[in-house]
């Protein structure tokens, strides 16, 4: 299954997401990532191929081709995923972060329209 992990064009690192992906792959909770776009994160990945940034056109192509996308889910990535008819699944509501709030509302809207 094609899995794409992306931190988008965010300028700040997000090592704990990548660490969680590594752990998830090792525990066979999530499929092995085909490609990881790691942005400014410094986390060294042992289980999958990573690249800091993709050219814009390749980034959109990777999102389009992926069957599973694991993302920081800033607004840019989230909107692009929605335009590609991907179904967002939010993270835990205990996280008071941008992506959790946005994805929660978006996932509700998606279910209503499904």
Partner 1 sequence: MKVCLVCSSGGHFYELYCLRGAWHGHDQFWVTFHGQDTGYVLRDQKVYTAYCPTNRNLKNLVRNLFLAWRVLAREKPRVVVSTGAGVCVPFFLLARLRGIKTVYIESLARINELSLTGRMVYPLANEFIVQWPELAERHSKARFEGQLL
* Binding residues vs partner 1 (CB under 8 A): 8-11, 53-57, 59, 74-77, 79-80, 82, 98-99, 101-102, 105-106, 109
- When the beta carbons of 22 and 80 are compared against partner 1, the nearer one is 80
**Least distance to partner 1, CB of residue 2, Å:** 21
Distance of CA 6 to the CA centre of its chain: 5
CA 86 to CA 63: how far, in whole Å?
9
Cβ closest to partner 1, residue 14 vs residue 22: 14
Residue 43's φ and ψ, nearest 5 degrees, are -60, 125
Find where tokens 């994160």 sit: 41
> DSSP code of 60?
H
Q: Which is nearer to partner 1, 25 or 81 (CB)?
A: 81
Taking the least distance from each CB to partner 1, the nearer of 23 and 58 is 58
Letter string b/e over residues 11-22, b meaning 16 or more CB atoms within 10 A of that residue's CB: eeebeebbeebb
């Amino acid at each position: 299954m094609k899995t794409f992990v992306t931190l988008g064009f965010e300028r700040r690192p997000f090592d704990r997401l990548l660490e969680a992906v590594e752990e998830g792959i090792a525990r066979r909770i999530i499929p092995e990532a085909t490609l990881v776009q790691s942005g400014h994160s410094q986390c060294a990945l042992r289980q999958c191929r990573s690249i800091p940034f993709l050219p814009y056109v390749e980034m959109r192509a990777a999102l389009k081709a992926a069957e599973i996308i694991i993302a920081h889910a800033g607004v840019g990535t989230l909107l692009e995923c929605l335009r590609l008819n991907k179904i967002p699944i939010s993270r835990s509501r205990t996280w008071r972060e941008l992506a959790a709030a946005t994805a929660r509302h978006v996932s509700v809207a998606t279910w209503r329209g499904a």
